[in-house]
Amino acid sequence: MKNKILVLAALLGLLSACSQSIESSPTPFPPDHLPTVVALTGQAAFATADALTQSVTPTIVSTSTEPPIPLTEIPSPTPTFAAGFTDFAQIRFLTPGPASSLISPINLQMELVSGESEVVQVDLLGEDGRVLYRDLEKVTRNVKGIFRRFDLKFEIRAVSEAGYIRVSSKDDFGRLQALNTMPVLLYSVGSAQINPPGNMIYERVMVEGLKEKADFYAGEVNLKGRIWPFNDQPMIVELVLPNGSPISTRILDFNGIDTQPFETSLPYKVTEPAMARLTFRQDNPLLSVTDSELQKYIYVYSIEIMLNP
């Protein structure tokens, strides 16, 4: 009987301890509390990142096969630019921007001032310079620029490679009037990551006081201004006659790729007034394949001037 009393007392003590343990345990979270905490934490993290990030966030483009929604307005980027470079490029890229990661087809959007031939050539080059895509389109010349959109389809064997979107236009004599290049990354699979154009929308040559069809005399064209090199290659400056023959050439070397001042003169000899195209051009040393017409040009800027005896 004594043993039974001891066992009963032990059981009562154990039940009392369990009751105290249950009463002192923490209150469980409501079912929707944890997701709410995660969401609030994520929002705080994104807000902090936005506050610290001053550049434009790249746009992630879906690989959906559905046709894109037509644009209702032209993008209006507000990048910073070097002093003196405020003129929009004759061939102005709106999207994609430099180093964008792209899959086929590429949605290229531009503001164009076509050459006097009113024919624009659009090329997509592989990292060695081979042509992956080419299109010729007639674009009415308008000095204020015309919005154009192109879909560049391509195929590459590798998973990825560097590439270049190159757009050019000629004048009515067949001389190269303008050329601009956008370096990009090409991928065979995945999603596109679009970077903004930044300061790539501006012309890279600024000549002080130079106007279209300006007159020059005494056998010399004196130039002074600033140049924004595309790379560390020299800039070639030429006077080109309507038949395509250069009559004067200068080579401008640069220290790095920052904007730099330049001053040079191009001597010439004519017996009667002649309209010449003053051309600035720079090569892309990374291209191993040379185009018979466009060579390895990465950038060309030109303006017509009048040469007088």
CATH code (residue 230): 2.60.40.2550
pLDDT at site 192? 95
Tell whether 156 is covered by a domain: yes
| Domain match, 197 and 296 both | no
> Does 282 fall in a domain?
yes
Predicted pLDDT of residue 84: 64
Distance CA 205, CA 301 (A): 7
What is the distance between the alpha carbons of residues 90 and 300, in angstroms, rounded to a whole number?
10
Residues 209 and 287 in one domain: yes
Q: How far apart are CA 180 and CA 90, in angstroms?
A: 9
- Tens-level pLDDT at each residue, the chain (309 residues): 444 444 444 444 444 444 444 344 444 434 443 333 333 333 333 332 333 233 344 444 433 344 443 333 334 444 454 556 778 999 999 999 999 999 999 999 999 999 999 999 999 999 999 999 999 999 999 999 999 999 999 999 999 999 999 999 999 999 999 999 999 999 999 999 999 998 889 999 999 999 999 999 999 999 999 999 999 999 999 999 999 999 999 999 998 899 999 999 999 999 999 999 999 999 999 999 989 999 999 999 999 999 999
State which amino acid sits at residue 204.
R
Asked whether residue 7 is domain-assigned, the answer is no
Are residues 214 and 185 part of one domain? Answer: no
Pairing relationship of beta strands 101-102 and 176-187 according to DSSP bridges: parallel
**Is 290 among the domain residues?**
yes
d(CA 76, CA 46) in angstroms, rounded, equals: 25
Q: Which domain holds residue 175?
A: 80-201
Q: DSSP 3-state assignment of 103?
A: coil
Same domain, 189 and 233: no
Put simply, whether the predicted model's pTM sits higher than 0.85 gets the answer no
Residue 56 is assigned to a structural domain of this protein? no
Inter-residue contact 137 to 227 (CB < 8 Å): no
Report the domain count for the chain.
Answer: 2
Q: Can you tell me the distance from the alpha carbon of 128 to that of 124, in angstroms, rounded to the nearest whole number?
A: 11
Q: Can you read off the two tokens belonging to residue 129?
A: 């310079």
- Whether 181 and 251 share a structural domain: no
Is residue 53 a part of any domain in this protein? Answer: no
| 280 in the same domain as 213 | yes
